[in-house]
Amino acid sequence: MAGALKVLLASSEVVPFAKTGGLADVAGALPQALEELGVDVRVIMPKYASVKLKENFGKLGKNVKVYFVENDGYFARPQLYGDKFGDYKDNLDRFAFFSRQVLERAKQENFRPDIIHCNDWQTALVPVYLNTLYKYDPFFASTKTVFTIHNLAYQGLFPKEEFPKTGLDWSLFNIRYFEFYDKMNLMKAGLVYADLLNTVSPTYAEEIQTSEFGCGLEGVIKTRRDSLSGILNGIDYGAWNPETDNKIFKKYSSATIGDKYANKEMLQEEVGLKVNRSIPLIGTISRLADQKGFDLVAAIIDKVLKMDVQFVLLGTGDNKYHVLFEKIQKTHAKSAAIFLKFDAILAQKIYASSDLFLMPSRYEPCGLGQLISFKYGTVPIVRQTGGLKDSVTEFDPSTGEGSGFTFTGYEAERLLAAVKKAVSTYSKKEVWAKLVKKVMGYDYSWTRSAKDYVEMYERAIEKR
Ligand code: ADP
């Protein structure tokens, strides 16, 4: 191929400009790793109120251009997708507009991408537009699309009456493309039209072909299985590294691990827990959604906190979990510290200060919390699903093999058994120290995953 590979990555959230979850981390970090590999990559996202720049462009990494799509009526809002009353009512208008602008802006900037890399339902219309409204547009004659599923449970479902808002011909509203149980489904159409598909871990790529994890789209995905791959996310060690992290109380490395425990004591102090480094501290940072397994946590928390363990949770999401954790905070005022908000700084402190990181997800496309935890010497307790299964293996205290504490069946008793094993292992000081040191040495940087993406882009270009 002549010249550098040209990629336009479209995402509805990108760190550091806007974030609700892991998609933003990926969209902020992958382009920087691609840049390092010599790809000419640009990023495009909506200009939300959280984007403080005056211009309609920004920058990531050394020189990755970020194009902001402006439309104050749609995007200058405090939240990205909805507020406490639920999803914004005009999300279809907002993201159909954004998807059109992905193509229009590329033309305005005279950036002819080899690949448009779309992510989740918010950009699922891009491959559709490219193959319909822009099918004969010479500007995109050699542009291919890649679609990444970060979470199949969020599909962009809208009442079929709203279909005309897409600007597409009604003939596309049929069972092959948009129609889905009497609604319209943006993700479905994106999955059909994109040249190649991937998801964010090899195990999740298998799981979504089953009725248990396929969220009703398993049939569509199975028909495209030859075009589907799984690429585990990396994390951005520029942002997540206890040796350079300015947001934690005290920087540390595996050579100065005592300072991790200094962080722990300072967090205990700050959040009102008993200051004592020998009490195991379990941390959780998460969206509070059914996906994340908090019904299991609720079922065992009384038993866990009877064991001389401390629990700190940072999360926001479904109201029922806010109610639940407020109650837990009241019952366990001494051993639990609950923060029901989004707070990037507190998050780093919790990763740094905790001994264990709890992630008992029902399903988990990749999961970043366990990878971030490794880097901070915080050992994950996870359910064996999706990316958690691909990154955490059961620790065996007798051989020292494995990297965390795991369970398989989605049952509270199994989670409790994993927590008990973790807590008892924590009390074996030498075994624990070795485990912490080992997980801190893992390399989940983006470099390897970015190479897999480049390979996928090249495969997409060769198609047809
Ligand atoms: P998901 O994308 O399903 O939310 P991931 O594990 O892939 O889950 O990514 C979650 C990311 O969001 C991590 O970087 C995590 O630290 C961060 N995060 C989640 N909830 C909060 C919160 N309340 N405050 C700060 N960061 C949070």
Break the chain into its structural domains and give their ranges: 2-234+446-462, 254-440
Per-residue pLDDT at 3: 79
Gap between the Cα atoms of 234 and 215, Å rounded: 25
Q: Which atom of ligand 1 is nearest to the CA of 369?
A: 6
| Domain 2-234+446-462 and domain 254-440 have a common topology | yes
Share of residues in the chain with pLDDT > 70 (%): 99
Q: Is 156 in the pocket of ligand 1 (CB under 6 A)?
A: no
CB atoms within 10 A of CB 274: 11
List all residues 6 or more positions away from 260 whose beta carbon is below 8 Å from its beta carbon. 242, 252, 352, 353, 376, 377, 436
Detail the DSSP E strand segments found in 1-52: 6-10, 40-46
Q: Which of the listed residues 248, 285, 350, 354 should we mutate to test ligand 1's pocket, taking the one with most ligand atoms within 8 A of CB?
A: 285
Q: Is 344 in the pocket of ligand 1 (CB under 6 A)?
A: yes
Give residue 292 CA to ligand 1 midpoint distance, Å: 11
Q: How confident is the model at residue 463 (pLDDT cuts 50, 70, 90)?
A: confident
Per-residue pLDDT at 2: 54
Q: Is the pLDDT of residue 23 over 70?
A: yes
Three-state DSSP class for 261?
Answer: helix
**Which amino acid belongs to residue 252?**
Y
Would you list the DSSP string of 136-186? T-GGGTT-EEEEEES-TT---EEEGGGGGGGT--GGG-STTTTEETTEEEH
Per-residue pLDDT at 139: 98
Share of residues in the chain with pLDDT > 90 (%): 97
Give residue 61 CA to ligand 1 midpoint distance, Å: 21
Give residue 281 CA to ligand 1 midpoint distance, Å: 19
- Please tell me which residue, 236 or 372, carries the higher pLDDT value: 372
Q: Is the pLDDT of residue 1 over 70?
A: no
Q: Is 200 in the pocket of ligand 1 (CB under 6 A)?
A: no
Which tens digits make up the pLDDT trace of 221-230? 999 999 999 9
Q: Which atom of ligand 1 is nearest to the CA of 344?
A: 25
Give residue 114 CA to ligand 1 midpoint distance, Å: 31
Gap between the Cα atoms of 40 and 424, Å rounded: 50
Mean pLDDT of 62-91: 95
Q: Is the pLDDT of residue 107 over 60?
A: yes
Which tens digits make up the pLDDT trace of 283-339? 999 999 999 999 999 999 999 999 999 999 999 999 999 999 999 999 999 999 999
Q: Is 285 in the pocket of ligand 1 (CB under 6 A)?
A: yes
Per-residue pLDDT at 347: 98
Gap between the Cα atoms of 191 and 198, Å rounded: 10
Give residue 172 CA to ligand 1 midpoint distance, Å: 36
Mean pLDDT of 379-394: 98
CATH tag for 2-234+446-462 (out of 3.30.200.20, 2.60.40.3470, 2.40.50.140, 3.40.50.2000): 3.40.50.2000
> Considering only CA atoms, which of 163, 13, 165, 151 is closest in space to residue 75?
13
Per-residue pLDDT at 464: 66
Looking at domain 254-440, its CATH class is alpha beta
Gap between the Cα atoms of 297 and 361, Å rounded: 10
Q: Is the pLDDT of residue 193 over 60?
A: yes
**Which amino acid belongs to residue 127?**
P
User: Alpha helix (H) ranges present in 272-362?
Assistant: 294-305, 319-331, 344-353
Q: Is the pLDDT of residue 256 over 80?
A: yes
Which tens digits make up the pLDDT trace of 393-426? 999 999 999 999 999 999 999 999 999 999 999 9
Task: Determine the Cα angle at 86 with ends 81 and 92, to 5°.
Answer: 50
Protein residue with least CA distance to atom 12, ligand 1:
21
Q: Average model confidence (pLDDT) for the chain?
A: 97
